[in-house]
């Protein structure tokens, strides 16, 4: 026969007491973890890139690796100062490529920078947004120069034609003046 239940008794287990993490020692600063990526992986990646640059690996390969890493950071909503550094490194490496490759790589960099800016704005990180916008301006200017649409420059060909016309005019005036004097002397 089942025993009658007494009031106040339940078959539910008692709630567990939450464990409070131990306080960290002063001077110990925990780096914020990025979703899906550890700080060690990030540092290893940066070291690999630096070693490859020093070893003389082709700039295209280095840039491609950096672009993949930045895409992961944007996807994981982990845009940080390191992202800006990686993008700057990629930009420096792109500058070592031929002009044709620069155009496509810089276009890709602009797309990545725009994505990083959106993430930083969503996270209300104004300092990071400012750095990314500064980098975007530099990349856009380099892209315009690579496409041949840089800032207006003085056209050397035009200056050469003007100089040539000036020399021709001065020469013709000199010859005319000499001829006129000679005619008067006769």
Residues 128 and 52 in one domain: yes
The answer to the question of residue 80 being in a domain is: yes
Residues 98 and 168 in one domain: no
What digits encode the pLDDT tens for the residues 11-53?
555 555 555 555 554 444 444 444 444 566 667 777 777 777 7
Residues 131 and 94 in one domain: yes
What confidence score (pLDDT) does residue 27 get? 43
What confidence score (pLDDT) does residue 4 get? 61
Residues 53 and 73 in one domain: yes
Total domains present in the chain: 2
R_g over Cα of the chain:
34
The answer to the question of residue 14 being in a domain is: no
The C-alpha atoms of residue 131 and residue 128 are separated, in whole angstroms, by: 5
Residues 126 and 170 in one domain: no
The answer to the question of residue 123 being in a domain is: yes
The C-alpha atoms of residue 186 and residue 184 are separated, in whole angstroms, by: 5
Q: Does residue 139 contact residue 91 with C-beta atoms inside 8 Å?
A: yes
Domain that holds residue 159: 154-186
Residues 102 and 170 in one domain: no
Residues 91 and 179 in one domain: no
**Between 134 and 184, the higher pLDDT residue:** 134
The answer to the question of residue 16 being in a domain is: no
What digits encode the pLDDT tens for the residues 53-112?
777 777 678 788 888 888 988 888 888 888 888 888 888 888 888 777 888 888 888 999
CA dist 73 → 26, 66, 106, 180 (Å): 30, 11, 19, 81
Buried b (16+ CB within 10 A) or exposed e, 48-81: ebeebeeeeeebeebbebbbebbeebbeeebbbe
Residues 162 and 82 in one domain: no
Residues 171 and 108 in one domain: no
Residues 138 and 164 in one domain: no
Please state the three-class secondary structure of 4-37 as a single string: CCCCCCCCCCCCCCCCCCCCCCCCCCCCCCECCE
The answer to the question of residue 6 being in a domain is: no
The C-alpha atoms of residue 109 and residue 59 are separated, in whole angstroms, by: 14
Residues 60 and 117 in one domain: yes
CA dihedral 110, 111, 116, 122 (to 10 degrees): 120
Q: Residue 148 is inside which H or E element, if any? A: none
What confidence score (pLDDT) does residue 29 get? 41
What confidence score (pLDDT) does residue 11 get? 59
Rounded mean pLDDT of 163-169? 89
Residues 139 and 172 in one domain: no
What confidence score (pLDDT) does residue 118 get? 92
Q: Record the tokens describing residue 58, joined without a space.
A: 């082709």
């Amino acid at each position: 026969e089942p025993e009658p239940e007494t009031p106040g008794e339940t078959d539910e287990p008692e709630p567990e007491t939450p464990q409070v993490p131990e306080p960290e020692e002063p001077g110990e600063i925990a780096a914020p973890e990025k979703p899906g990526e550890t700080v060690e992986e990030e540092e290893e990646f940066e070291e690999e890139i630096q070693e490859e640059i020093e070893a003389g690996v082709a700039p295209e390969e280095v840039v491609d690796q950096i672009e993949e890493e930045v895409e992961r950071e944007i996807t994981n909503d982990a845009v940080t100062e390191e992202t800006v550094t990686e993008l700057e490194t990629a930009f420096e490496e792109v500058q070592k490529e031929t002009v044709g490759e620069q155009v496509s790589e810089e276009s890709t960099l602009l797309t990545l920078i725009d994505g990083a800016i959106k993430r930083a704005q969503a996270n209300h990180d104004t300092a990071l947004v400012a750095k990314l916008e500064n980098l975007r301006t530099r990349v856009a200017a380099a892209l315009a120069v690579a496409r041949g649409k840089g800032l207006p420059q003085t056209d050397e060909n035009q200056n050469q034609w003007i100089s040539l016309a000036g020399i021709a005019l001065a020469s013709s005036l000199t010859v005319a003046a000499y001829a006129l004097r000679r005619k008067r002397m006769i």
